[in-house]
A and B are shown apart, each in its own frame.
Chain A
Amino acid sequence: MLDDLVIKDALRYLGAKAEDEQAEALLRKVLDDYRSVFSPRHVTAFFPVESTSPVVTFSGTEIVLEGESIRRHFSGATEGLFSAFTLGIAFDKKVRELSLVYPTESVALNAIGSAYAERKADELLKEVRLKKEAEGFKTTFRFCPGYGDLPLKTNAMIAAALNAGKRIGLTVTEDGLLLPVKSIVGVTACLPVKE
């Protein structure tokens, strides 16, 4: 099931039509052949909202979320669910290796990796969100640094608060980019459902 969704997404990333059988066959082959280089890991933590104006802050952490878009996203929220996900470094190495010998497969694997990371991160996060929803909360979609006016440098703050380096091997460059390449850092707002 996840595979079908991943291939559908990857087709879209490649700019191929949904009925492009040749492209689909290639993507399926690449997914099957190189699945062993995926090592998805994730880490999450909840922190209570401390303030939402002028910036969003959380008690127990030093995370500061700046910008109008995240402020609106957290309107009415009482907690933030922070998450970090990575597909692992072996994937990056395989894409680089393939780019030299089978460039087409490399491009296909890159698209598959993006799609897989998104879907897998969502799947892992969903379990945590469902638990929270069972406790009487509504959860928003995962908001990532780089969306709206939330600066990329926020990646480093969230990664540090989650101890993501030690826990899942995620690193953040000085410019706020994530390594391994297929990694996702984000925050989901948790709003209490009114009785």
Chain B
Amino acid sequence: MKEFLFFDGAMGTMLQAHGLKAGAFPETYNLTHPDVVLAIHKAYVAAGSDVVTANTFGANPFKMKGLDVKEIITRGVEIAKASGAKKVALDVSSHGALLEPNGTLSFDEAYENYKFIMQTGEKAGADLILIETMSDLLETKCALLAAKENTSLPVFVTMTYMEDGRTFLGTDPVTATVTLCALGADAVGVNCSLGAKDMLPVIREICAYATCPVIVQPNAGLPKIKEGMTVYEDTPDIFSAAMKDIASLGATILGGCCGTTPDHIRALKAALKGMMPVVRNVKPYTAATSATKTVFLGEGTKVIGERLNPTGKKKLKAALIAGDVDYLLHEAIDQERAGADILDLNVGLPEIDEVQMLTRVMKEVSATVTLPLQLDCSDPVALERACRLYNGKPIINSVNMKPSSLDAIVPIAKKYGAALIGLCLGETMPKTHEERFDYAKRLVKELTSRGIKKNDIIIDCLVLTIATDETQAEETALAVKQVTEELGVCTVLGVSNVSFGMPDRLKINAAFLSKCLHAGLSAPILNPLVAEYAEVLKGKLLTLDTSAYFTFDKEGAVGIRGMVLCGAVGGVEDAVKEALKTKTPLEIINEEFIPALDEIGVKFEKGEVFLPRLIAAAEVVKKGMDVMKKDGDDDATRPDVILATVKGDIHDIGKNIVKMLLRSYGFKVLDLGKDVPESAVVEAWKKTHAPLIGLSALMTTTVPSMKATIDALKAAGSDAKVAVGGAVLTEEYAKTVGADFYGKDARATVKIAESVVRK
């Protein structure tokens, strides 16, 4: 701002001096004593106020039942305009009741009241809106949204803080400033509270984080009781001297609150004469807030608790279905006590109404713990509602480079000022760090072009399990390093995904965490209750040579069967060629490959060997089968099994493992790929009449696509059996979507294929 903007001082205490009774509505004077109100405004204009504040502070249909609030607001603005002031502010404040869940007033009811007030004020001719003396951050957000969504006026917002530097509801100035700036306030600051001198620490904090002009309107000192009356003792000289200090911190919009008079404003203007507004340089920050806390990412490691997510958690899933929110609150408290800084919240389950449930759980968790939340949801309706009612600035998890994702998620993040996780994913799944970095770069470019601030973007470099590709840990860590150093944005990672299907999961996770933290990771998403992570989070360097998991004892690699059991790829081709001299291909399959695969399969089921070993065995078989494969052997024309990852889902690692194992067992497989529309599956069945169709989905959000595909197959008259599988699937979901079988893992799917195809 080039010049200071001067507001007026108190109205209420001035009216009391004119005979207003304690507890009566000062705003009724707009109707009964317009001349008194006008005289006060004029006195402020004469003292040098650029903006006078209409006498509408408490004019709210919630408080003034039975009064003509519309008329009171309209007259209030008109009287203020008649004062000759350059600008008139519509004055808006709290309902005087607590919003849910602290109190009983609903967000929607409060919003409707504010909407009415804002629209009435704009229609009456107000030039700007001042939302002031606020204690409840959620109510403040509600008022700000009502102003922004229903008027075209600038909106200034001030909260009131006590001696402990917090509002009555516990909000600190940094949290209020970060949240309100993110929501698009045109000025933020403080009013009422203490005297000007005592406000300096609060204003210093506001000035350090406000990305818009800072407004300050203090009382004339702390209220004192003298002879039964409330009095404010700061003289115009004391007040203006302190206000000069406030201006030198960078506040540019100045005025007074309770106890201040036109003389205070006159003294303020005189004190600032010749002084230029201080230009503040606010360092960009990446932050999330709750009602009472701000967490800055990129300053030390911040832990995001992963436990409020039903994927792979039976008890949580059951609690969500039963509507047992207490169970989730318990999990939230445990994570907070274990040192989490932020909590991820995901309630996506096919059985529940996510729109209703996400907001319900969000509200309850926010009321119980003090941590900011990361809303983990891909349903735009559910996400929008939760962001709207969230008390603070949330993180949204997540958006990716798919146009459908960008179009659905970005507008929500922008409107509610959320920090936004960009997941390195799009039409394809990145494998190398270069591919990940490329996605990150494109995400930053795309999101900023759509109006998201760069510092609000957090990149998730995508963690894939090392079980299927040992290099994934290293590639992800390299990507984190590159994104941190070259793009300068914060990063998150879902750490535990790295060890999916592996033994010693915690050991692998902890080592991977260590690697990523040293690469510059800002915030791991993990289970904060796991002791193994604690040391690493404190900075302990852990290394782990995972190659041991991928090198198998070759001692027993004798014969084809031994080679399969040991995962010894080299030599299998020659061994098969040799065997073909005495056996038919079918005999080799039945006598060598299948018994070996069965043996390793049983060990896998018992947890004696893990995914890498199973995959290695399948690879050996594939090499051997290739030797026997004749020209013309075609999986596509007469397949036994059609496989597809359903529409909306591009996770195909699991499906590919199933494919590999099925082929090892000699089944002909037609793989339709990932993100496959229902029609493509139907078409494939019509052409081939394969007896078994396998559908895969990793995300809860794509389970409905599974049902749609099965419905489409039935509608097309398909008699093929359908098996479904994937991380979120359960026996029960399989039934819900109408599948014939549930393939718990690749091994189970082989058994299903045997029962269907070779019956």
Query: Contact: B103 with A97, CB < 8 Å?
Result: no
Q: How far apart are B547's CB and chain A's nearest CB, in angstroms?
A: 43
Smallest CB–CB gap between B174 and chain A, Å?
18
- The answer to whether A100 and B368 touch across the interface, beta carbons within 8 angstroms, is yes
Q: Say if the beta carbon of B236 comes within 8 Å of chain A.
A: no
Q: Do B98 and A171 touch across chains, with their CB atoms under 8 A apart?
A: yes
Q: Which residues of B contact A169 (CB under 8 A)?
A: 135, 167-169
Say yes or no for B273: interface residue by CB 8 A criterion. no
- A105 nearest CB across to chain B (Å): 13
Residue of chain B at shortest CB distance from A131: B225
Interface size on A, residues (CB 8 A): 35
Say yes or no: is A118 at the interface (Cβ < 8 Å to chain B): no
Knowing A92-B102, A97-B333, A171-B96 are in contact, say whether A44-B22 is a contact too (CB < 8 A).
no
Whether, in the assembled complex, B606 has its beta carbon less than 8 Å from a beta carbon of chain A, the answer is no
Q: Are B96 and A100 in contact (CB under 8 A)?
A: no
Whether a CB of chain A sits under 8 angstroms from the CB of B632 is no
Given A89-B102, A165-B96, A169-B135, check contact A62 B24 (CB 8 Å): yes
Within 66-111 of A, Cβ neighbours of B (below 8 Å) are at 79, 88-90, 92-93, 96-97, 100-101
Q: Name the one of B22, B96, B97, B230 contacting A47, with C-beta atoms under 8 angstroms.
A: B22
**Within 8 Å of chain B (Cβ to Cβ): is A45?**
yes
Interface residues of B in 361-409 (CB under 8 A from A): 367-369
Are A161 and B97 interface neighbours, CB within 8 A? no
B261: Cβ under 8 A from any A Cβ: no
Contact of B228 among A45, A97, A157, A158 (CB under 8 A): A45
Contacts of A89 in B (CB 8 A): 98, 102, 168-170
- The residues of A that contact B24 with a CB separation of less than 8 Å are 61-62
Q: Whose C-beta in chain A lies nearest to the C-beta of B329?
A: A100
Q: How far is the CA of A161 from the CA of B104 in the complex (A)?
A: 22
8 A Cβ contacts from B248-272 to A? none
B330, A100: Cβ atoms under 8 Å?
yes
Q: Is B501 positioned at the interface, with any CB of A under 8 Å from its CB?
A: no
B23 at the interface (CB under 8 A from A): yes
Q: Report how far A40 CA is from B334 CA in the complex, Å.
A: 29
Tell me which of A45, A46, A93, A166 contacts B133 (CB under 8 A).
A166
How far is A40 from B156 in the complex, measured between Cα atoms in Å? 31
Is the beta-carbon distance between A173 and B103 smaller than 8 angstroms? yes
CA distance in complex: A169, B102 (Å): 13
Contact B225 A101 (CB under 8 A): no
Q: Interface on chain A toward B: helix, strand, loop, or mixed SS?
A: mixed
Q: Among A47, A93, A160, find the residue whose CB has the most chain B CB atoms closer than 10 A.
A: A93
Residues of B near A90 (CB, < 8 A) are 170
Closest chain B residue to A61, Cβ basis: B22
A44 to B225, CA, bound (A): 8
Min Cβ gap A90→B in Å is: 6
Residues of A within 8 A of B21 (CB): 60-62
A90 to B330, CA, bound (A): 19
A63 contacts the other chain (CB 8 A):
yes
B187-227 CB contacts (< 8 Å) to partner A:
192, 223, 225
Taking the closest CB of chain B, its distance from the CB of A101, in whole angstroms, is 5
- In the complex, the answer to whether A61 meets B23 with C-beta atoms within 8 Å is yes
The answer to whether A45 touches B230, judged by C-beta atoms less than 8 angstroms apart, is yes
- Does A65 belong to the interface (CB within 8 Å)? no
**B23 engages A62 (CB within 8 Å):** yes
Known: A160-B23, A161-B22. A167 touches B103 (CB 8 A): no
| Min C-beta distance of A84 to chain B, whole Å | 12
The reply on B326 being an interface residue by CB < 8 A is yes
A61 to B223, CA, bound (A): 19
Q: State how many angstroms separate the Cβ of A168 from the closest Cβ of chain B.
A: 7
A39 within 8 A of B: yes
B55 within 8 A of A: no
A47 to B229, CA, bound (A): 9
B83 within 8 A of A: no
Inter-subunit contact A97/B135 (CB<8 Å):
no
A190 to B22, CA, bound (A): 19
Residues of B within 8 A of A39 (CB): 164
Complex Cα distance A42/B168, Å? 13
A179 to B104, CA, bound (A): 10
Task: Give the shortest distance, in Å, between A184 (CB) and chain B (any CB).
Answer: 16
B120 at the A interface (CB under 8 A): no
Within 8 A of B (CB), among A140-161: 157-158, 160-161
Q: Determine if A172 is an interface residue (Cβ-Cβ < 8 Å).
A: yes
With the chains together, A63 CA to B329 CA distance in Å? 43
B135 neighbours in A (Cβ, 8 Å):
169
Assembled-state Cα–Cα distance A161/B97 (Å): 16
B160 interface residue per 8 A CB criterion: yes
Q: Give the distance in Å from the alpha carbon of A173 to the alpha carbon of B333 in the complex.
A: 29
In the bound complex, CA of A174 to CA of B164 (Å): 30
Is B468 an interface residue when CB atoms closer than 8 A count as contact? no
- B94 CB within 8 Å of chain A: yes
B225–A172 touching, CB < 8 Å: no
Would you call A171 and B23 a contact (CB within 8 A)? Answer: no
Mask, B158-171, CB within 8 Å of A = 1, is: 00100010011110
Q: Enumerate chain B residues within 8 angstroms of A46, measured Cβ to Cβ.
A: 228
Q: Which of B94, B98, B170, B330 contacts A101 (CB 8 A)?
A: B330
From A47, A97, A162, A167, give the contact of B368 (CB < 8 A).
A97
Taken together as a complex, chains A and B put the C-alpha atoms of A61 and B229 apart, in Å, by: 12
Q: Given A60-B22, A166-B133, decide whether A172 and B223 contact each other with a Cβ distance below 8 A.
A: no
Q: Are A172 and B333 neighbours in the complex by a CB distance under 8 Å?
A: no
Q: Which residues of B contact A165 (CB under 8 A)?
A: 94, 96
A88–B97 CB distance below 8 A:
no
CA distance A165 to B367 in the complex (A): 21
Instruction: Determine the distance from Cα of A79 to Cα of B96 in the docked complex, in whole angstroms.
Output: 27
Q: How far is the CA of A171 from the CA of B329 in the complex (A)?
A: 27
Give the docked Cα–Cα distance between A158 and B22 (Å): 9
| Nearest CB of A to B259, in Å | 12
A86 smallest CB distance to B (angstroms): 9
Q: Is the CB of B102 within 8 A of A179?
A: yes
Contact, CB under 8 Å: A172 / B97: yes
Residues A179 and B98 in contact in the complex (CB < 8 Å), given A90-B170, A161-B22, A166-B192 = yes
Q: Which of A88, A93, A157, A174 contacts B23 (CB 8 A)?
A: A157
Q: Which residues on B sit within 8 Å (CB–CB) of A166? A: 133, 160, 192
Expressed in whole angstroms, the Cα–Cα distance for A157 and B23 within the complex equals 7
CA distance A88 to B102 in the complex (A): 11
Query: What are 25 inter-chain pairs, A to B, with CB distance below 8 A?
Result: A39-B164, A45-B22, A46-B228, A60-B21, A60-B22, A61-B24, A62-B22, A62-B24, A63-B22, A88-B168, A93-B368, A97-B368, A101-B330, A157-B23, A160-B22, A165-B94, A166-B133, A166-B192, A169-B168, A171-B96, A172-B96, A173-B97, A173-B103, A174-B104, A179-B102
17 further interface pairs, Cβ-Cβ under 8 Å (given A160-B22, A172-B96, A173-B104): A44-B225, A62-B22, A62-B24, A79-B228, A89-B170, A93-B102, A93-B368, A97-B369, A100-B368, A101-B330, A101-B333, A101-B334, A160-B23, A167-B223, A169-B169, A171-B97, A174-B104
> Which B residues are closer than 8 A to A by beta carbons?
21-24, 94, 96-98, 102-104, 133, 135, 160, 164, 167-170, 192, 223, 225, 228-230, 326, 329-330, 333-334, 367-369
7 closest Cβ contacts across the A-B interface? Answer: A169-B168, A161-B23, A46-B228, A160-B23, A161-B22, A61-B22, A165-B96
